[in-house]
């Protein structure tokens, strides 16, 4: 009895505080993935993270979290050698973009480009070096599916509840909440593959598989209504990669068919609801047809979920193994191939034959860069092959590269390249719509090589084979995340997803966690390997000591990143206040705010433009002239500086000869600008008058 009492007293119950700390320590490794998922959702509803003034506050909130992670991270970090090379190249690319400020034709734009890349580097470094076991992989993959659900729901509300959610009124194509239909499309594609894997995963409960099928149906609807041809191509790439890499091809094909069939039937049944497929100004008709389609969408998603649940329950009772499984797989694959080929031949037959269709598509693709073919903004564009000016944009970038082959024109400056070299006045863009050409033209060969090493290295690290762990239970999910990464890289070849932080972070998260998971699996194999095998397995990874000095250094880098974001952000706020004050007639306060904006961002010309406008408002034309001349000295390759100066000289100061010189310089930098040409003609006509 005494022994029993003594034993009880020596082993008291664990205090609740200790239990809470134990739970926190177990959850801590999942924090980076969870935080990045939350950031992706928030950025998706903040214009995709494209607008700096909306992204900066979120980044400034994340820096303290990243600093906390730095001090809570393990003392030793393990990283794959390929991933280490990629991260090193990524950091070097960010530094090269920062250095380009010194030679950039738009230094303020280069500063913002550096900030965005530095943010990406921080996220990639945290994700790649964080531990990534089985549950980390599932959190990233299925968490991304959950993260895209509110995005897809909000997007589709513009179709099914147009009287309440009005973002799809001006265009038939869905773009909200991201703000750009093609980026919304690639986000849906990247979510489709893990949703498909979840729907076909054998060890998930039937209800969970049904829920994944419903989510898959929602993503397919949303992708379709973006009417994105690039998104459709990316989906094809993702599915090919997924089915090559996964070990659940038969289940995956069945799940895709069971979901795509009701979605396809719903779309076919709604073909007469024209407001869904083309823009309209008839609000009443749009509302009526949207509500009708809502029932079809819900029914299709419910049918997909129910069919998947039934299929999961049947699969548990009917085991298809061995040769039977192979035969069934071949039959299913043959059926899919037959449907694709038969559908293509039927389409060709209705449109004059394969030769006529090929000629028509080739003509569309080659003509749409010069305005010869107008690509519809409705559903019909999915059957139109046009480059939408991407070929001339690529030519502009390559032309600029030949002029500045080593260092480029400066990060973020493609808009000036477009101004100078465009051959179609209607194609006014800020990006080359091809990330590789964009990087090549802006940062030269040096930046291009670093960027390829960074993105390519992260992708290669995520695509390394599992080796003896090939029968891993999560191989399918890993394949889905790998496929999503490949689809993103394919899509940035035809669009500017990289500058939309929501999409870029999704790529970094999925490939980063996939690569880290592969590294963890190899470590497990090394522990179980023989003495002869272990060194071969271990040499693919490095153990890095993360001591106090390293943590202090990384914390310092994070502080610098925060400061680099803070200055232009505060400048932008001061500029906005200056414009509001000027519109209210409070010119003295407006001048103060415009000057503050310039002090905070001395590389930008917009604060100087605002200051010059307010000085004109005050009747201080000489001061306004001096301010605009300062803007010209700051950015002598920016056509807007000369245009603003020419306007002041012509319309306010009456300096016709000086105005002609300024406007001619503006047109030399932007030959197709109609406003500058009209101003110049006006100036010449005035100077020629008696």
pLDDT at position 336, please? Answer: 66
From CA 440, how far away is CA 501, in angstroms rounded?
20
134 shares a domain with 105: yes
Least confident range of 14-23, 55-64, 295-304? 14-23
116 shares a domain with 203: yes
Q: Is the pLDDT of residue 679 over 70?
A: yes
128 shares a domain with 96: yes
Tell which residue, 82, 40, 167, 95, has the closest CA to residue 454: 82
pLDDT at position 465, please? Answer: 76
pLDDT at position 362, please? Answer: 55
Q: Is the pLDDT of residue 453 over 60?
A: yes
Q: Token pair of 541, please? A: 């990874």
In a domain, 382, yes or no: no
Any idea what the CATH number is for the domain that residue 586 is in?
1.25.40.10
Q: Token pair of 532, please? A: 């002869």
The percent helix, strand, coil of the chain (3-state, each to 5) is 75, 0, 25
204 shares a domain with 296: yes
Q: Decide which of 682 and 648 is more confident.
A: 648
3-state secondary structure 129-152: HCCCCHHHHHHHHHHHHHHHHHHH
662 shares a domain with 530: no
DSSP for 182-218?
HHHHHHHHHHHHHHHHHHH-TTS-HHHHHHHHHHHHH
Read off the DSSP letter of residue 650: I
Count how many domains the chain has. 2
Distance of CA 677 to the CA centre of its chain: 37
Read off the DSSP letter of residue 275: G
In a domain, 81, yes or no: yes
Q: Which residue has the tokens 């449907």?
A: 339
Structural domain of 610:
553-688
Contact 193, 252 (CB under 8 A): no
531 shares a domain with 503: yes
From CA 240, how far away is CA 243, in angstroms rounded?
5
Q: Is the pLDDT of residue 532 over 90?
A: no
Tens digit of each residue's pLDDT (9 = 90 or more) over 66-94: 999 888 888 888 888 899 999 999 999 99
Of 526, 546, 566, the position where a domain reaches its end is 546
Give Rg (Cα) of the chain.
Answer: 29
What burial class does residue 684 get, using C-beta atoms within 10 Å of its C-beta: 0-12 exposed, 13-18 middle, 19+ buried? middle
Q: Which residue has the tokens 């085991």?
A: 319
From CA 325, how far away is CA 382, in angstroms rounded?
36
Tens digit of each residue's pLDDT (9 = 90 or more) over 563-591: 999 999 999 999 999 999 999 999 999 99
560 shares a domain with 541: no
Q: Decide which of 29 and 123 is more confident.
A: 123
Q: Token pair of 513, please? A: 């966690």
626 shares a domain with 492: no
- 609-614's contacts with Cβ under 8 Å and 24+ in sequence apart are 609/640, 609/644, 610/575, 610/578, 610/579, 610/582, 611/578, 612/644, 612/648, 613/582, 614/578, 614/582, 614/587, 614/590
pLDDT at position 360, please? Answer: 56
Of 546, 568, 585, the position where a domain reaches its end is 546
402 CB contacts (<8 Å, ≥6 apart)? Answer: none
265 shares a domain with 153: yes
Read off the DSSP letter of residue 653: S
Tens digit of each residue's pLDDT (9 = 90 or more) over 172-197: 899 999 999 999 999 999 999 999 99
Tell which residue, 203, 191, 201, 272, has the closest CA to residue 238: 191
Q: Which residue has the tokens 């705010």?
A: 593
From CA 432, how far away is CA 164, in angstroms rounded?
36
pLDDT at position 249, please? Answer: 86
Q: What sign does the dihedral 640-644-647-653 (CA atoms) show?
A: negative
Establish how many alpha carbons lie within 13 A of residue 333's alpha carbon, considering only the half-sphere containing its beta carbon: 11
For residue 575, give the 3-state DSSP assignment: helix
Q: Which residue has the tokens 């993260």?
A: 147
pLDDT at position 216, please? Answer: 98
In a domain, 447, yes or no: no
In a domain, 363, yes or no: no
In a domain, 417, yes or no: no
pLDDT at position 526, please? Answer: 64
pLDDT at position 333, please? Answer: 66
170 shares a domain with 121: yes
From CA 13, how far away is CA 45, in angstroms rounded?
47
From CA 281, how far away is CA 172, in angstroms rounded?
11
In a domain, 62, yes or no: yes
Least confident range of 119-123, 268-272, 277-281? 277-281
From CA 128, how far away is CA 418, in angstroms rounded?
36
Q: Token pair of 459, please? A: 């992708």
From CA 541, how far away is CA 520, in angstroms rounded?
10
In a domain, 98, yes or no: yes
Tens digit of each residue's pLDDT (9 = 90 or more) over 586-613: 999 999 999 999 999 999 999 999 999 9
pTM: 0.90
Q: Token pair of 456, please? A: 């390519």
Contact 627, 611 (CB under 8 A): yes
75 shares a domain with 165: yes
Least confident range of 5-9, 261-265, 515-519, 537-541? 5-9
519 shares a domain with 617: no
The answer to whether the bond into 177 is cis (omega within 30° of 0) is yes
From CA 507, how far away is CA 603, in angstroms rounded?
31
Of 522, 546, 570, the position where a domain reaches its end is 546
Tell which residue, 140, 116, 117, 138, has the closest CA to residue 128: 140
DSSP for 79-130?
EEHHHHHHHHHHHHHHHHHHHGGGT-SSHHHHHHHHHHHHHHHHHHHHHHHS
From CA 366, how far away is CA 380, in angstroms rounded?
18
Q: Is the pLDDT of residue 8 over 70?
A: no
For residue 77, give the 3-state DSSP assignment: strand
pLDDT confidence of 1, banded at 50, 70, 90? Answer: very low
Mean pLDDT rounded to a whole number for the chain: 87
In a domain, 203, yes or no: yes
Tens digit of each residue's pLDDT (9 = 90 or more) over 361-394: 555 555 555 444 445 567 777 767 666 678 889 9
From CA 54, how far away is CA 45, in angstroms rounded?
10
């Amino acid at each position: 009895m005494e022994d029993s009492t003594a034993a009880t007293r020596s082993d008291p119950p664990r205090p609740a505080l200790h239990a809470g700390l134990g739970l926190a320590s177990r959850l801590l490794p999942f924090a980076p993935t969870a935080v990045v998922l939350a950031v992706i959702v928030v950025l998706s509803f903040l214009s995709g993270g494209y607008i700096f003034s909306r992204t900066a506050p979120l980044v400034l909130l994340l820096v303290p979290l990243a600093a906390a992670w730095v001090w809570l991270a393990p003392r030793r970090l393990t990283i794959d050698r390929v991933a280490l090379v990629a991260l090193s190249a990524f950091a070097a690319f960010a530094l090269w973009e920062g250095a380009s400020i010194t030679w950039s034709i738009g230094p303020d734009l280069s500063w913002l480009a550096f900030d965005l890349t530095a943010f990406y580097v921080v996220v990639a470094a945290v994700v790649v070096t964080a531990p990534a076991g089985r549950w980390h992989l599932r959190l990233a993959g299925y968490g991304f599916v959950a993260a895209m659900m509110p995005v897809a729901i909000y997007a589709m509300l513009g179709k099914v509840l147009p009287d309440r959610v009005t973002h799809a009124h001006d265009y038939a194509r869905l773009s909200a909440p991201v703000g750009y239909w093609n980026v919304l499309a690639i986000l849906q594609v990247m979510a489709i593959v893990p949703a498909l894997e979840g729907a076909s995963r054998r060890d998930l409960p039937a209800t969970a598989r049904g829920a994944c099928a419903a989510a898959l149906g929602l993503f397919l609807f949303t992708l379709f209504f973006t009417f994105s041809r690039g998104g459709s191509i990316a989906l094809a790439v993702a599915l090919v990669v997924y089915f090559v890499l996964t070990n659940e091809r038969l289940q995956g094909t069945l799940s895709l068919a069971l979901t795509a069939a009701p979605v396809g039937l719903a779309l076919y049944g709604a073909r007469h609801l024209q407001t869904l497929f083309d823009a309209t100004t008839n609000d009443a008709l749009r509302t009526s047809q949207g509500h009708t389609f809502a029932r079809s969408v819900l029914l299709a998603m419910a049918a997909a979920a129910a069919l998947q649940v039934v299929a999961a329950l049947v699969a548990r009772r009917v085991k298809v193994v061995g040769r039977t499984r192979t035969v069934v797989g071949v039959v299913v694959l043959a059926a899919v191939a037959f449907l694709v080929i038969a559908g293509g031949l039927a389409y060709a037959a209705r449109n004059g034959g394969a030769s006529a269709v090929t000629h028509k598509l080739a003509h569309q693709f080659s003509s749409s860069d010069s305005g010869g073919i107008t690509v519809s903004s409705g559903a019909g564009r999915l059957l139109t092959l046009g480059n939408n000016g991407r070929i001339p944009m690529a030519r502009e970038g390559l032309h600029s590269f030949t002029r500045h082959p080593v260092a480029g024109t400066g990060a973020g400056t493609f808009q000036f390249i477009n101004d100078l070299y465009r051959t179609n006045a209607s194609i006014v863009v800020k990006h080359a719509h091809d990330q590789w050409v964009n990087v090549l033209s802006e940062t030269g060969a040096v930046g291009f090589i670093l960027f390829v090493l960074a993105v390519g290295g992260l992708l290669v690290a995520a695509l390394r084979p599992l080796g003896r762990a090939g029968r891993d239970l999560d191989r399918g999910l890993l394949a889905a995340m790998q496929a999503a990464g490949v689809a993103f890289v394919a899509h940035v070849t035809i669009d500017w997803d990289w500058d939309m932080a929501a999409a870029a972070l999704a790529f970094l998260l999925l490939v980063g966690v996939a690569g880290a998971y592969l590294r963890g699996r190899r470590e497990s194999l090394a522990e179980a390997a023989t003495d002869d095998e272990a060194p071969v397995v271990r040499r693919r990874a490095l153990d890095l000591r993360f001591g106090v000095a390293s943590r202090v250094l990384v914390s310092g880098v994070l502080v610098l990143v925060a400061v680099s974001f803070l200055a232009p952000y505060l400048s932008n706020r001061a500029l906005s206040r200056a414009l509001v004050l000027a519109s209210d007639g409070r010119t003295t306060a407006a001048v103060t705010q415009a000057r503050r904006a310039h002090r905070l961002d001395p590389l930008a010309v917009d604060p100087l433009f605002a200051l010059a406008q307010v000085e004109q408002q005050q009747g201080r034309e000489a001061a306004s002239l001096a301010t605009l001349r300062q803007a010209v000295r700051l950015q002598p390759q920016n056509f807007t500086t000369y245009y603003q100066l020419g306007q002041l000289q012509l319309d306010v100061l009456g300096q016709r000869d000086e105005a002609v010189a300024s406007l001619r310089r503006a047109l030399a930098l932007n030959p197709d600008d109609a406003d500058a040409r009209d101003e110049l003609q006006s100036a010449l006509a005035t100077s020629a008058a008696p």
